[in-house]
Amino acid sequence: MIEFQSVTKTFNGKPAVDNISFTANEKEILVLLGKSGCGKTTTLKMANRLIESDSGMIKINGENIENQNPEKLRMNIGFVMQNSGLFPHYTIAQNIAVVPQLLKWEKKKTENKTLELLEKLHLPVDILKRYPSELSGGQQQRVGIARALIGNSPILLLDEPFGALDNITKADIHSEFKSLDELKNKTILLVTHDVQEAFELGHRICLLDQGKIVQVGTPTEILYRPVNEFAESFFDENRLLLEYKVATLQDIRSFLSSEINDRILLDNQVNIWSVLQKIISEYKDNEAYESVVSAFTEYRKLHIA
Amino acid sequence: MTEQNFWQFIVEQQDKLWTQVVQHLGLTFLSLFLAILVGVPLGIVIARVKKLSNPVLGIAGILQTIPSIALLGFMIPAFGIGTTPAIIALLIYALLPIIRNTFTGITEVDPSVREAAKALGMNNMQILFKIELPLATPVIVAGIRTAAVINVGVATLASFVAAGGLGEFIFGGISLNNTNMILAGALPAAILAVIIDQFIALLQRSGLKSLKIFKFIFPLIIIVAGYFYFSNTSSTAKLKAGFTPEFMGRKDGDIGLRSVYGMNVKPLIVNDAVMYKAAYDKELDLISGYSTDGRIKAYDLLVLDDDKRIFPPYFAAPIIKNKTLEKFPELENTLNILAGKFNDSLMTDLNYKADQLKQTPEKIAKDFLMANHLYKTSGKGNRGTIKIGSKIFGEQYILTEIYKLLIEGYTDYKVETKTGLGGTKICFDALMNDGIDFYIEYTGTGLQVLLHPTEKVIDEVTKSPEQTYRYVNSEFEKKYGIRWLKPLGFNNAYALMMRRTQAEELHIKSISDLSIFIKKE
C-alpha cells in the first residue's frame, strides 16, 4: 500500500506537485495519467525518494519513507523506466542480477529466478550472455521488467514502461504484463500519458493536471462521471473506443436475448470491444453483432442518464 | 677526420643511451602514476561537485600553459635540482588531460543509467565504482594516453635540471653541433611515445568493459618507476658538480678536466639557465660557467684558478657571410665600431646589470652607447632589413641590442632580432640558411664545436687568443664563406666555479686544489 498525504514538490519556485493525496491499495494497479509536465513522474519518483518531497508525508505499507534508509527503501521497490535503463557494460544476466547482488543472494537462487522470469517474459535464454545494445527495444524493456521483478518486492513503480515501443510490440507486452502472476499481489503505480494503456492496465486511474489531482476512480467512473470539464474533455478523442473497452460482456448480458447469450461463448470479463472483434472475425455472426451493439447502447443509456 | 655515422654513435654510446632510456621511462611513468593518483580522484570530485569544475579545470589549464623551462625554473628554489622537480613538473603537465577526461567521462554517463542504478538501491560508492567509472574508463584511458605522450615529450627537458633522460643527448647534440647525438635522443623519445601510447591502447582494448585495466597499469607503472628509482640513486659525492651538455663534450671542458687534471667529478648534466641559481641554492657545489657571466658577482661565486691552462681565453666577435657583407656595404664598418670597445670587467659589469639589477637589455645597450658617445637616433630604416641572432644567455641579448641600436643609428638599415636561439648549432644553422645575417660567436666554440680540428692543431692554435682567432677566421672563410669581424675586446672562457664561502671553508683556490680534495675522499 502506498499513501500520499498532502505531498508538495516545487522546482525553482513553481509547484510541480501541488498538495497531492491518494492511496494505492494492495493488489492494485493505480495509473497516474496526465499530459507531459502534469507532475506524474515527479509523483512517482517521490515514492522511492529519487526525488525528495518538500512537504507532506508518503507512507509505504504504513511506514513513513522519510524514516528509512533510501538505498534499503529502493532495494525493496521494483522500478521500470521508459528507456529500460539497463547498464550498457553489464550482460543481460548481470543486469538482472543487480538487485540480488545488492541483497547478497546465493548465485544458484539468482540463476533459477532469472531463468523463471525469462520464460514468463518470453525471452530466449541465449540473451543472458549478450549486452543490452544487442537486443531489440521490446526485449530490452522485458529485461527491464525482469530486473524489477526478481527481487520480488511488494511495490512496483513503472515510469512510462512501454512508451518507447511500437504499437504491435506494446500490445504484446500489455497482454503478457496482465497475465504475469508476479504482479497479482503487488501494489503498482504506473505512470503513462497513453489513455488506452491506462484503461487497459489500470484498476483505478488518477488523472493529474498541473500538479493537482483532477479525479481518482475506476475506468468506468472516470469515463462516465467526470468531475469537471477537464476530466470530460481529456477522453474526448478516444471516448467511443474507451467506452467499448470499459464495458464487459457481463455488463450487457442482461440486455441480450438468452438465445444470443448462448451463442457468445466468451468469458464475462472480456470487454465489448474484444467481443465485437471476435464476432466479426471469428463467428462471422451479423445478428449477434447487431444485438451486442444495441445491448451496449441500452447499457450506455443507463450510465449517461 | 671521418665523420662518425649514426649507428657507430649508437653502438659506442649504448650504455649511456640505455641509462637515458631507463631514466626517461622512469620519469614518464612515475609522474604519470602520480598524475593518475591525483587527477582521477580530482576528476571524480569535480564531476560530483560541479561548482568546483570550472576553478579546478581552469587552474590545471593555466599550469599547462606555463612554458616547461619556466616551470622547471620555479621548481628549483622549492625542490632543488634532480628528479624531484622534474617529476613534479611532469606531473603538472599530465594533470589536465587526466582530470578533464575523468570529469568528461563521468558527466557523460547517460543520466537514465545513473538513475536506474540509484532506483535499484545502489549507494553513491556503488554507483561510482560499478557504473560511472567502468563506463567512463575508455575516456579516462584516452586522457592517460594523451598525458603519457605529453610526458615523453616534456621529459626531454628534465635534463635541464639534472634529472637525466634522453634530453641529455638532444640538448647536448644541439650545443655540440652533433646531429648523431640529437638523433640518438630524439628518435628513441619518439619511439617511446608511440610504444607507450599503443601499449596503453592495447591494454584498454583487451579489457574494454571493466576496471581491470587499472589492475595491469598500476603494478606495471610501479615496477618501471621502482626500477628507475633504484637504478638512479646517484653516488653521493661530497661535492655535487653540474655541467652543461656543451661543457661535457668539449676538449676544453670535462674532457680536459679528466685528461689534464685527472679528475672525475661525476657531474650531473644541467642547463646553464638554471645552473648558477642551483649553485647559489646549494643544490650544486661545482659548476661550469662563463668567465664573464654577471651571476658570478651576483651570487658571490669563486672562479677557480685554471693553473694547468685547459680553458684558454677566447675572443668574441660577430660572424657573418661574405655575401651578406657585399649586400649591405655599410655594415662591416658599422659593426667594427664596437671592436675593442669592451674588456672583461666591462662585460661582466653589463651582465651584472642584467642578471642582478634586472635591467632590460634595451636599457643597458642604450646606456652603454650613451656613455661611450656612440648613440645616434635611428635612421630611416628603408634600405633593407638585417637579422641579428642571439644565443639564449644574457650577454648575447645585451650585445644584440647594442648592435641593433648601432646599425639603426649609423645606417638606414632596419634591424630584426632573433633572440634566444637554443644553442650553437641552432645559431650556426640559422646563419648558414640565411635565417639570420650575423650573430656573436666565441672563437673557442668555433674551434671546438664547429671546426673539430685534430688535437695537434688545437694545441698549436690555442697558445694565444690571437692565434685562435686567426685560425678560425681563415678556416671559416675556406669552409663556409664566413668571416669573423674584429673582436669586441673581451675574453670569454669556460671557468669552474664554487660558492665562495664553501671554497674558503675547503681551502680550494685552484682546480688542482679541487682535484686533490676530490681524490682524498
Q: Select from A188, A217, A236 the last residue of a domain.
A: A236
* Positive/negative CA dihedral, A135, A136, A137, A139: negative
B122 & B152 share domain: yes
Q: What is the DSSP letter of B59?
A: H
3-state secondary structure of A152: coil
- Contact of B397 with B363, CB cutoff 8 Å: no
B287-299 burial by CB neighbour count: b if 16+ within 10 A, else e? bbbbbbbbbbebb
Q: B138: distance to nearest CA of chain A, Å?
A: 12
B434 & B478 share domain: yes
pLDDT score at B267: 87
Section A139-168 average pLDDT: 90
CA distances from B46 to B89, B112, B251, B330 (A): 23, 20, 56, 64
Q: Does the beta-carbon distance from A102 to B118 stay under 8 Å?
A: no
Close Cβ partners of A196 (under 8 Å, ≥ 6 residues apart)? A238, A241, A242, A245
Section A206-216 average pLDDT: 94
Closest to A194 in 3D by CA, of A149, A163, A154: A163
Closest to B245 in 3D by CA, of B157, B173, B155, B163: B173
CA distances from A75 to A148, A189, B138 (A): 10, 16, 30
B368 & B299 share domain: no
Residue to test with chain A: of B112, B118, B120, most A Cβ within 10 A: B120
Section B3-14 average pLDDT: 82
Residue with grid cell 503498482, as numbered in its chain: A188
Cα B135 to the chain's mean position, in Å? 41
pLDDT score at B235: 46
Q: Does the beta-carbon distance from A88 to B131 stay under 8 Å?
A: no
Whether the pLDDT of residue A115 is over 90: the answer is yes
Residue with grid cell 487497459, as numbered in its chain: A200
- B1 inside domain: no
3-state secondary structure of A62: coil
The alpha-carbon radius of gyration of chain A (Å, integer) is 21
Q: Does B118 touch chain A (CB under 8 A)?
A: yes
Choose between B69 and B405: higher pLDDT: B405
Whether the pLDDT of residue B454 is over 80: the answer is yes
Q: A13: distance to nearest CA of chain B, Å?
A: 22
Residue to test with chain B: of A71, A95, A160, most B Cβ within 10 A: A71
Q: Round to whole Å and give the CA distance between B287 and B499.
A: 10
- B115 inside domain: yes
Q: Does the beta-carbon distance from B121 to A99 stay under 8 Å?
A: yes
B-chain residues within 8 Å CB-CB of A74? 118-121
Residue with grid cell 587526466, as numbered in its chain: B98
Section B38-49 average pLDDT: 94
- Contact of B229 with B158, CB cutoff 8 Å: no
- A54 inside domain: yes
pLDDT score at B135: 92
Close Cβ partners of B310 (under 8 Å, ≥ 6 residues apart)? B252, B256, B257, B260, B261, B511
Q: Round to whole Å and give the CA distance between B185 and B20.
A: 9
pLDDT tens per residue, range A21-47: 999 999 999 999 999 889 999 999 999
A204 & A289 share domain: no
A-chain residues within 8 Å CB-CB of B110? 88
Angle between helices B212-232 and B133-154 (to 10 degrees): 30
3-state secondary structure of A253: helix
pLDDT tens per residue, range B16-31: 898 889 889 888 988 9
A155 & A193 share domain: yes
Question: Looking at the 3D structure of chain A, how many domains does it have?
Answer: 2
Nearest CA in chain B to A45: B119
Per DSSP, the residues of B272-333 read: HHHHHHHHHTTS-SEEEEETT-HHHHHTTEEEPB-TT--S--EEEEEEEEHHHHHHSTTHHH
Amino acid at B123: N
- A139 inside domain: yes
Q: Select from A212, A236, A260 the last residue of a domain.
A: A236
Percent with pLDDT over 90 in chain B:
45
Nearest CA in chain B to A153: B120
A54 & A25 share domain: yes
Residue to test with chain B: of A45, A79, A96, A133, most B Cβ within 10 A: A79
Nearest CA in chain B to A70: B121
pLDDT tens per residue, range A223-254: 989 999 999 899 988 899 999 988 988 888 88
Q: What is the DSSP letter of B106?
A: H
pLDDT score at A305: 65
Amino acid at B57: L
Residue A55 grid cell: 512537504
Close Cβ partners of B388 (under 8 Å, ≥ 6 residues apart)? B400, B403, B404, B415, B416, B417, B418, B436, B437, B438, B439
| CATH, residue B124 | 1.10.3720.10
The answer to pTM > 0.90 is: no
| CATH, residue A168 | 3.40.50.300
Whether the pLDDT of residue A198 is over 80: the answer is yes
Percent with pLDDT over 70 in chain A:
100
Whether the pLDDT of residue A90 is over 90: the answer is yes
**Count of CB pairs separated by less than 8 Å, A with B:** 55
B329 & B382 share domain: yes
pLDDT score at A296: 92
Pairing type for strands A2-11 and A14-24 reads: antiparallel
pLDDT tens per residue, range A247-300: 988 888 888 888 888 888 888 888 899 899 888 888 888 888 999 999 999 998
- Number of Cβ atoms within 10 Å of the Cβ of B444: 26
User: Distance from first CA to last CA of chain B, Å, rounded?
Assistant: 39
Close Cβ partners of B14 (under 8 Å, ≥ 6 residues apart)? none
pLDDT score at B44: 95
* Residues facing A157 on adjacent strands: A79, A189
Q: Round to whole Å and give the CA distance between B415 and B411.
A: 10
Q: Within 13 Å of residue A25, how many CA atoms lie on the same side as its CB?
A: 9
pLDDT tens per residue, range B168-222: 888 888 877 788 889 999 999 999 999 989 988 887 777 654 556 666 666 776 7
User: Distance from first CA to last CA of chain A, Å, rounded?
Assistant: 35
Section B434-449 average pLDDT: 91
Amino acid at A302: L
A153 & A275 share domain: no
Whether the pLDDT of residue A3 is over 80: the answer is yes
pLDDT score at B214: 65
Choose between B124 and B265: higher pLDDT: B124
Q: Round to whole Å and give the CA distance between B99 and B92.
A: 11
A91 & A196 share domain: yes
B480 & B466 share domain: yes
| CATH, residue B368 | 3.10.105.10
Q: Does the beta-carbon distance from B121 to A86 stay under 8 Å?
A: no
pLDDT score at B145: 93
What is the average pLDDT value for chain B, to the nearest integer? 87
Residue B18: burial class (beta carbons within 10 Å; 0-12, 13-18, 19+): exposed
Q: Does the beta-carbon distance from A86 to B116 stay under 8 Å?
A: yes
Q: Round to whole Å and give the CA distance between A220 and A53.
A: 32
pLDDT band at A131 (very low <50, low <70, confident <90, very high): very high
A262-287 burial by CB neighbour count: b if 16+ within 10 A, else e? eebeeeeeebbbbbbebbeeebebee
Residue A102 grid cell: 545488492
B453 & B391 share domain: yes
Chain A from 67 to 86: CB within 8 A of any B CB: 71-77, 79, 81-83, 85-86
Close Cβ partners of B368 (under 8 Å, ≥ 6 residues apart)? B350, B398, B402
- A242 inside domain: no
Structural domain including B267 reads 241-310+496-520
A-chain residues within 8 Å CB-CB of B116? 79, 81, 85-87
Structural domain including A270 reads 247-304
Nearest CA in chain A to B135: A89
3-state secondary structure of A221: helix
Per DSSP, the residues of B136-160 read: HHHHHHHHHHHHHHHHHHHGGGGGG
Nearest CA in chain B to A91: B209
Residue B353 grid cell: 646589470
pLDDT score at A25: 93
- Contact of B369 with B406, CB cutoff 8 Å: yes
- A241 inside domain: no
Q: B107: distance to nearest CA of chain A, Å?
A: 16
* Residues facing B483 on adjacent strands: B320
| CATH, residue B271 | 3.40.190.120
Section B45-67 average pLDDT: 91
Closest to B289 in 3D by CA, of B39, B51, B494, B38: B494
Q: What is the DSSP letter of A206?
A: E
CA distances from A58 to A3, A9, A20, A61, A209 (A): 6, 12, 10, 10, 20
pLDDT band at B250 (very low <50, low <70, confident <90, very high): confident
A229 & A251 share domain: no
Closest to B144 in 3D by CA, of B96, B194, B89: B96
Q: Round to whole Å and give the CA distance between B270 and B81.
A: 9
Question: Looking at the 3D structure of chain B, how many domains does it have?
Answer: 3
Nearest CA in chain B to A46: B119
Q: Does B117 touch chain A (CB under 8 A)?
A: yes
Q: A51: distance to nearest CA of chain B, Å?
A: 11
Residue with grid cell 567502468, as numbered in its chain: B134
Section B475-488 average pLDDT: 93
